[in-house]
Amino acid sequence: MNDYLNTCNIVCVGDAVIDFMPLPQPGTFEQTGGGAPANVSVSAAKMGAKTAFCGMVGDDVFGRYLADTLMANGVDVSGMRFTREAVTTMTFVTIDEAGDRKFVFARKPGADMFYSAADIDENLFRRSSVIHFCSIMLSCEGLRNTMKKILHIARETGAVVSFDVNYRQPHWNDTDDALSIISQYISSADILKLSEEEALWCSNSNTIEEAARYFIDCGQLVVITLGRRGAIYIHNKKAMHCDGFPINVVNTTGAGDAFWGTFLAQFAADGSRLGNLSMEKLTKMIIKCNAAAAIAVTKPAAMDAMPDIGELNDFFTSNIMPKVQIFR
């Protein structure tokens, strides 16, 4: 496994942002690193994968903080770019009593929106075996043009394309326009990750059962995260459900990113082609993903909440394996 990791490369592209997380005193916040693709790059790196982050941050103290934080977590930042056109994108997070979060975005514009096709490090993308992005990378025309070039490179090199819908309505002017654009890129992905709400929205379904049937027909590897209830995973026309782990939730920010970074690290390390990935192997991977997400929600931040291999192994020594069954 380690020999393979020396050659594999997961490139995560999109937004690295400053998350301002709430402190106990009302109206006070603490600066932490965030942004879904940046979080995924850290999560995968902590799981032993060789990862890189590509995107734009401000040429400011926040941008340098993010670069330093990513490097400290073992992420290659040679494809990261800095701009003076805008400050580093920021998100203010509030947490309710159940640990669920809401976001207020400072992005009018934010530095991440200035990542252009000319900023792409083509060699970095051409060396990658997995390219991962989220829908925030599609939220303005300039970013979509950048993503089109990256996907063109992926098609040329045969890299596996991973897409986390990660829909954030405030980044879009119109919900119908957002769905139309996101749907186009769903069809471009080899591996797709959605939350339960996103799965219903993208499939125009009323129930998760309807959504699962919709994505079975799409023919991709699809994972739908269900929060405390675990995840549904769909591959080779089959759908399975893996329960989540019971846990005391502190903060759900970054849980999906911990889940997905753990998934991509396992996928890249295995080296299998998607078509050869068995449901048995996929089940073992999803159990680890659920465990990583469970660990992450016990911590107060996003990027800082990503668990490492040691934490994951310790978690399994004190928790019962979840129930796995066919999803109908």
Long-range CB contact pairs, 169-178, < 8 A, 24+: 170/103, 170/105, 171/105, 171/107, 171/136, 171/139, 172/139, 178/135, 178/139
Query: How does pLDDT run along the chain (328 residues), one tens digit per residue?
Result: 333 334 458 999 999 999 998 787 887 888 999 999 999 999 999 999 999 999 999 999 999 999 999 999 999 999 999 999 999 999 898 877 766 767 889 999 999 999 999 999 999 999 999 999 999 999 999 999 999 999 999 999 999 999 999 999 999 999 999 999 999 999 999 999 999 999 999 999 999 999 999 999 888 999 999 999 999 999 999 999 999 999 998 888 899 999 999 999 999 998 778 888 999 999 999 999 999 999 999 998 789 999 999 999 999 999 999 999 999 7
Q: What is the pLDDT of residue 171?
A: 93
For residues 283 and 266, give the distance between their C-alpha atoms in angstroms, rounded to a whole number. Answer: 12
How many angstroms separate the CA atoms of 40 and 326, rounded?
28
Q: How far apart are CA 236 and CA 278, in angstroms?
A: 9
Query: Which amino acid type is present at position 79?
Result: G
Asked whether the CA dihedral 158, 164, 170, 175 is positive or negative, the reply is: positive
CATH number of the domain at 2-326, please?
Answer: 3.40.1190.20
> What pLDDT is attached to residue 99?
60
Q: How far apart are CA 305 and CA 126, in angstroms?
A: 30
Residue ranges per domain, the chain?
Answer: 2-326
Phi, psi of 205 (to 5 degrees): -110, 155
Q: What's the pLDDT score for residue 24? A: 78
> Could you give the CA distance from residue 245 to residue 312 in angstroms, rounded to a whole number?
13
For residue 4, what pLDDT is reported?
36
**Residue-level pLDDT at 1:** 33
**Predicted pLDDT of residue 3:** 38
Q: How far apart are the first and last CA of the chain?
A: 34
**Cα–Cα dist 205/288, whole Å:** 28
pTM for this predicted structure: 0.94
